Structure 1
Amino acid sequence: MLLSLLLSGFFTFVELNCENLFDYLHDEGKQDVEYLPESTRHWTKKRYWHKLNNIAQELISCSEDGIPDLIALCEVENDSVMRDLTKRSLLRHAGYEYLMTTSPDQRGIDVALLYSPFTFAPIRSYPIRVEPIKGMRATRDILYVCGETVSGDTLHVFVVHQPSKFGGEKYSRPFRRVVADRVCQSIDSICSVSQNPKLLIAGDFNDGADGYSLLPYYQHDLQNITKDAKGGYGVRGTYKYKGEWESIDHILASPIIYNKVYSAVIHSPLFLLEDDTQYGGYRPRRTYNGMRYQPGYSDHLPLIVRFTF
C-alpha cells in the first residue's frame, strides 16, 4: 500500500462533517442527552457502531489508490469516538492516527484531523480557542496542525467548524466572522516567520463560498479550491436544504498549494445518496431525518482534493 501511495504522486485531502458522531455515553457537563439510549433518538450502542462503520466506509471510498493522506472531520464528540473510529471500526487496518480538540462547545462536539503516518508526520499541533463576543455561545476550538508530507513539504493545516445560522443569518453572521478572524490571526503569525507557507484551511464554514465570513480568508490571499466542486448524479453542493444544494464545507489554500491542485470534487457515490422524494433528485443519505432514525451516513457529503506533491 505504501509503495502505491508513493508511486501515485498524489496527496489526497478529505473534509467531512460527520453529522453528530456521538457515542452513547453521557459526557459530564455537556448537553449530549439526545444521543443516549434512553433519549427520544434512542441512540444505542448498536446504532453508534453502525454509524462508525458507515463513516469508515465513506472515508475509505474517498481514494481509489490506497487511503486519503489527511482527513479533516467535523462533529465528532470526543477522544473515545475517534479512538473507536481509527482503531476499532472498518478503518482499523488503515493505520490512521489522529489529533483533535476538546472544545467548550455546549453539545461537546469537536473537530479532528486523521493522518496517515506513512505520508504525513506532525511536527506540532494545538487547539486555538475562540473567545465569544456578545450574544455568542461558546463554539468549537480551531485545530492547528503543522507537519511534513512524504515529499518533504511543511504543511500548515487548520480544521474549523464555524457557528451555525441558528437565530438567523444576519444575527449569527458576526459569530462566524469571529472564527475567521481568529484563524487569520494565526495565519499572520505563521507568515511572520515563514515566507510563502503552505496553508490549508478546511471544515464546515456554515457559509457559502461568497459569504461574509469567508472574506477575511480571501483577504489573506487564500484560494477556495472547492468553490466550483461538483459531484455525480446532479450533486451541486455538500449539503441540501429544502431542495437546494448548498456548499457550506470548503477547503482553502495558499497560492503555492492552489497551484498544485490536480482535482477537487464532491464525493457522491450512489450509496451516500437517497431519493429526495419531496423536491426531486437526490440528497445525502443521513442518519436522522428529523427524529426518525435511518442507518445512513451523514447529512453532508465529503470534499476530496488531490495535490501533486
Structure 2
Amino acid sequence: MATSYYVAWWNLENLFDEENAPPERRPDKVKRAIGEDIRGWTPAVRDRKVAQLASVIAQMNHAQGPDLLGVCEVENRFVLDLLVDAVHQLLPDRSYAVVHADTQDARGIDVAFLHETTLLTPGEVFFHVVMRRNATRDIVQVDFTTAAGTKLVAFGNHWPSRSGGQYESAGYRHIAGETLAYFHQRALEVLGPDTPAIAMGDFNDEPFDTSLSIHALATRQHQKVVDADNPYFWNLMWPLAGAPDGSFYYQGVPNQLDQFLVNKNMIGTAARISVQPGSVEILRYPDTFEGKYRKPRMFGGMGKKVDQHGYSDHFPIGLTLTEAD
C-alpha cells in the first residue's frame, strides 16, 4: 500500500524567546540587534504565541498534523521545543523531532524542520551559507530516509528580505537562488541522479521573479523539468501566483512568497516519491485571517502591537507526497 506524506511550510513571524532569555539562549550580538523591540515579550506572551501556532499545526492534514513541517523565523531551539511540546499536547499520537539550523542571521531568526520520527529519519544535515556582506540565514538541507528506505532531500529556505527596496535587495535573493541550485546539483551528484528533492520556504520573491525562475532554475514548465539536463525544479505555486489570495500580504496586496519546488524525480507515476500537484494549498483556517482582503491575522510583537488571538503574518502552505510500494 502506498504511503502518503503531508508536507507543510510556515513562516512563524518572529517566534522569539522571552525578553530576559539567558545568554546561552540569546547571544549578545542578537540581544544588541533586536534591542528594545523585544521589550514586553514576557514568558506568558511567548507561550501564548506558541499555543496559537500549535493550534494551527494540529489542524493540518485533516487534524492529523503534518508529517514534515518546515518553519522559519524562530529564534532558537528552546522555542522550537516549546512548540513541539504544545503540538504533542494536541496530537498525543504524533512523535515529532526537530532539525534546527542555528544560522548567522543578524536578528537571530533560524530555519528548522519538524518531522514525524516513525516516517522520516534525518541523515546528514547541511547549512549552506548564502554569501552576503552582512549576516543572513543559511539554506538548510536535510537528507531524510523514509521508513521504506527511500532517500528524500529537503531544502528549507528563508531568503533575504525586501527591506531597503524590492529591486535594491534583489541581488541578495539572486545569490540565494544560485546557492540553492548549486547544492541541489551537488545532492544529485553525491546521492545519485534519481534522488527526489523538494525545496520549500519563504523566498521573499514571487515564482516569476528572476531569483527563482533563472537563478534557482525553478520553472512553471513541467516538461522542461523532465527533459532538461540541468537540475531544474518545478515550481508548484504558479497556479496560485496572481490569485486573489496569497500566503503573505503587503499593503493589502496578496503575494505568493511561500513556495514548494520539486525536481523531476518527484514527477510522474514512475517516481518513487511523487508529488500530487492538485494537493498544493494555502492553509487558511477559521480565525487565522481578517479584514476584507482575508489577510493573515498577525500575532505581532517585535515593536508591533500584540494580538493574542493572532497567529503569524504568513499563511502556511501544504501538499501531499506519495511513496510507491
Alignment of 1:1-309 (within 5 A): 9-24=3-18, 25-26=20-21, 27=26, 28-30=28-30, 31-36=33-38, 39=39, 42-64=40-62, 66-87=64-85, 89-92=86-89, 93=92, 94-132=94-132, 136-193=133-190, 194-214=192-212, 215-218=214-217, 220-229=231-240, 236-259=245-268, 260-262=274-276, 263-275=279-291, 280-288=292-300, 291-295=304-308, 296-309=310-323
**Aligned partner letter, 1:226:** M
Matches of 1:282 and 1:65, distance apart in 2: 22
Distance 1:59 1:34 in 2: 30
Asked if structure 2 preserves the Cα contact closer than 8 Å seen for 1:226 and 1:303, the reply is no
After alignment, is 101-110 or 58-67 more displaced?
58-67
* Alignment TM-score, normalising by the size of structure 1: 0.87
Q: Which amino acid aligns with 1:32?
A: I
CA separation in 2, counterparts of 1:221 and 1:130? 20
Structure 2 unaligned residues grouped into runs of 5+? 219-230, 269-273
Shift of 1:239: 0.5
Report the alpha carbon displacement of residue 147 of structure 1 after superposing the two structures with TM: 1.1
Instruction: Assess if the C-alpha contact under 8 Å between 1:229 and 1:264 holds in 2.
Output: no
Aligned equivalents of 1:34 and 1:271: distance in 2?
30
| Maintained 8 Å contact 2:154/2:198 | yes
Aligned-pair CA distance for 1:66: 2.6
Contact kept in structure 2, 1:173 and 1:213, CA below 8 Å: yes
Please say if residues 222 and 255 of structure 1, whose CA atoms lie closer than 8 Å, have aligned partners that are also in contact: yes
The 8 Å contact of residues 86 and 95 in structure 1, kept in 2 or not, is answered as no
Partners in 2 of 1:227 and 1:8 — Cα distance? 27
Q: CA 1:95–1:33 in structure 2 vs 1: closer, same or farther (change >3 Å)?
A: farther
TM-score by length of 2: 0.83
TM-superposition CA deviations, 1:10-61 (whole Å, max 9, x none): 211000000000011341210233453xx2xx21111100100111111111
Aligned length: 288
